[in-house]
Chain A
Amino acid sequence: MAVGLRHFTARAGNGVGEPILDTDNGEELVHVQPSVSVAVGNRASESLGTLYITTRQVIWLSELDREKGYAVDFLSLSLHAVSRDPEAYPSPCIYTQIETEADEVEDESEDSDSECSEVLDLSKIREMRFIPSDANQLDTLFQVFCECAELNPEPIEEGEEEGHNWIFSADQLEDEAGAGDDVEWHFSQNPTNTIGHSNGHHDLASSVLELQINDQRFEDAEEMEQDADTGHHHQSQQ
């Protein structure tokens, strides 16, 4: 799965030339918008294309040049917005920001290169605009972008859940040294209810498991009661 913008040339052989999708893995076409121009980075807009929005990515295929097309995964779209401010861009459009691998590095060369070079390094492109010839379609397009973006949360990597040692207080460090991570985080289902770990495929609407442990190790130690934290509950008793 590539990060950032990339070339897309896989079109069906029929006359329409729709993009070939990864249907085996469930990718579906959600919305088609003809007569859309695209502006990549700071470059001038490229006209006459069709926008295909799928459950995984946004694809723009040129009508004039059958070899030209761009695609970006929703996983790489940091944000998208309806831009109607003529000072920002002359035409109303969908403005998107693309997460690139080189995001940590300030890449100044993109500005100078994009003006003159034909061969564009798409992986460094950080902004992209989709300009429909019919501006009334903008709100619909924005909505479709939202819906499909929501279908693409961050995938949970395998290793993440095991080494998940959140520290909440200095006191916890004493407990962790002895207990390790054996009893505390072993829920029967996936432990997704930790703070900050809400991206993923897990259904957070399902009830959070209440951990019942009657283990002396989880009783409040004497010194903890002197902390006088407000609202410090003895949850383990419930």
Chain B
Amino acid sequence: MLFFSYFKDLVGREVTVELKNDLAIRGTLHSVDQYLNIKLENTRVVDQDKYPHMLSVRNCFIRGSVVRYVQLPPEEVDIELLHDATRREAR
């Protein structure tokens, strides 16, 4: 539940989602669900070489299971808080 709660707090922020197939998509986090499916708005592909026809799409739904990383805006991240919360979650 930790990351679900964490991402819910990031709704409205710019994130970059990197998929397991190396595609990176940047956009505004619209919503996230318990499976960490991610909906982005105003998305654009970070590296256009691999998927040139994708370019910019308005709304995008990304399956949670294909996400490798979610890159967060550094100013939004309280590392100590996150560290603390993950340790607690683990026990």
Contacts and interface: CB of A to CB of B under 8 A. Distances in A.
Interface string B47-72: 00001011111111111111000000
Secondary structure of the B contact surface, majority rule: mixed
A187 interface: no
Contacts of A235: 88, 91
A103 B20 contact: yes
A82 B58 contact: yes
Nearest to A129: B53
A149 B37 contact: yes
A225 to B, nearest CB: 15
Interface residues on B, range: 35 or more
Nearest to B84: A231
Contacts of B87: 168, 229, 231-233
B33 A78 contact: no
Given A78-B21, A204-B34, A193 B89 contact: yes
B13 to A, nearest CB: 19
Contacts of B86: 168, 195
Contact of A205 (B21, B34, B56, B83): B34
Given A150-B35, A153-B35, A211-B91, A78 B63 contact: yes
A200 B36 CA distance: 11
Interface string A91-102: 000010101000
Given A88-B57, A146-B39, A195-B2, A154 B65 contact: yes
B59 A142 contact: yes
B40 to A, nearest CB: 9
5 contacts: A77-B63, A88-B56, A150-B35, A153-B64, A235-B91
Interface of A: 77-85, 87-89, 95, 97, 99, 103, 127, 142, 145-146, 149-150, 153-154, 166, 168, 193-196, 198-200, 204-205, 208, 211, 229-233, 235-236
Given A97-B51, A145-B61, A194-B90, 6 more contacts: A78-B19, A80-B60, A95-B57, A195-B86, A204-B4, A230-B80
